[in-house]
């Protein structure tokens, strides 16, 4: 029996994830106390039952569940069940916004603030996060993107990386992306905007790419950036980081930054241990 335990931060999308697993054929039970998991799975595994894929939602709402969950996972695996842990999380800022939008109280807030509850929960979940098979940060995921992630892992059984890197091009005139972890400024390169035949094109056009990439500084910049990421990635993974946003900016976000972001994305595709996404925030702005 394939058993997926869905857990993580309150407000990170566990119920949505359960619904997605249900849609692809999982038998789903939410808010099951960890102490009942072994008995529940034992009943489902009895002859005559046809459950081969089960998803169990376990979170901080059920007293004592998180403390017992590690032992439950070990017990399920020793019983021969294919057991995976899907851990969902989001940034404090995102979780606070979601709680305020729904006007709900955080289950651990008590007489304190939402921030207090989030801090306490994050600390209590550290041990189980370290045991997670998959970690998905839903802070910046649209529902369709979240669904694609779940579908990729649990229906298509594709390889999944617990660190995903989003390479974003942007224009400084429109502001630095709020969620950027690393910000690189490529305004030191000649600007195609001032060349008439390139002004109205973008870094997605071959003419602009060829112009930007002809300079020795472009290649050296990419070499050094790739080398830095090769150093940073294993250290971020070791520290449990699940999402990294690398923002590359130029003045307007149409020429140099688009070219460099695309070139970096192409270079990093040789790494099969990390997930990569590419987006151009300001390519159609202005």
Helix axes 256-268, 216-238, angle to 10 degrees: 50
Q: Which fold has domain 2-154?
A: Rossmann fold (3.40.50)
> Considering only CA atoms, which of 271, 182, 184 is closest in space to residue 234?
271
Q: How far apart are CA 95 and CA 112, in angstroms?
A: 16
What local confidence, expressed as pLDDT, does residue 80 receive? Answer: 86
What local confidence, expressed as pLDDT, does residue 72 receive? Answer: 87
Alpha helices in 165-215 (DSSP H): 196-199, 206-213
Q: How far apart are CA 183 and CA 168, in angstroms?
A: 10
Q: Which residue has the tokens 């979780």?
A: 95
Walking along the chain (286 residues) 10 residues at a time, the average pLDDT comes out as 92 94 92 86 82 88 72 86 92 92 86 90 89 89 88 78 86 94 96 95 96 97 96 84 91 97 93 85 90
Q: How far apart are CA 84 and CA 97, in angstroms?
A: 29
Do 44 and 1 touch, CB atoms closer than 8 A? yes
Beta bridge partners of residue 165, listed in sequence order: 244, 276
What local confidence, expressed as pLDDT, does residue 160 receive? Answer: 65
Residue ranges covered by each domain of the chain: 2-154, 164-280
In this prediction the pTM is: 0.65
Do 165 and 244 touch, CB atoms closer than 8 A? yes
Spatial CB neighbours of 54, under 8 Å, sequence gap ≥ 6 = 1, 2, 3, 4, 26, 27, 28, 29, 41, 44
pLDDT digits (tens, 9 = 90+) for 153-206: 888 776 666 688 999 999 999 999 988 999 999 999 999 999 999 999 999 999
What local confidence, expressed as pLDDT, does residue 250 receive? Answer: 97
């Amino acid at each position: 029996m394939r058993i997926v335990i869905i857990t993580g931060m309150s407000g990170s999308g566990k119920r949505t994830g359960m619904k997605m697993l249900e849609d692809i054929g999982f038998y789903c039970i939410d808010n099951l106390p960890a102490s009942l998991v072994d008995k529940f799975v034992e009943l489902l595994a009895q002859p005559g039952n046809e459950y081969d894929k089960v998803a169990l939602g376990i979170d901080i709402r059920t007293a004592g569940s998180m403390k017992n969950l590690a032992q439950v996972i070990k017990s399920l695996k020793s019983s021969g069940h294919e057991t995976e842990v899907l851990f969902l999380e989001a940034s404090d800022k995102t979780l606070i916004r979601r709680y305020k939008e729904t006007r709900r109280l955080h289950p651990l807030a008590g007489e304190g603030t939402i921030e207090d509850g989030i801090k306490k929960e994050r600390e209590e979940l550290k041990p189980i996060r370290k045991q997670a098979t998959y970690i998905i940060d839903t802070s910046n995921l649209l529902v369709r993107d979240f669904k694609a992630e779940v579908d990729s892992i649990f229906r298509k059984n594709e390889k999944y990386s617990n660190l995903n890197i989003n390479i974003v091009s942007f224009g400084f005139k429109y502001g630095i992306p709020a969620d950027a972890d690393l910000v690189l400024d490529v305004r030191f390169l000649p600007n195609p905007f001032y060349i008439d035949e390139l002004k109205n094109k973008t870094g997605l056009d071959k003419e602009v790419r060829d112009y930007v990439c002809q300079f020795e500084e472009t290649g050296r910049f990419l070499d050094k950036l790739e080398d830095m990421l090769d150093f940073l990635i294993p250290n971020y993974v070791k520290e449990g980081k699940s999402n990294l946003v690398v923002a590359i900016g130029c003045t307007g976000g149409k020429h140099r930054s688009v070219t460099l972001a695309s070139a970096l994305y192409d270079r990093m595709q040789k790494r099969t241990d990390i997930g990569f996404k590419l987006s151009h925030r300001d390519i159609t702005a202005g």
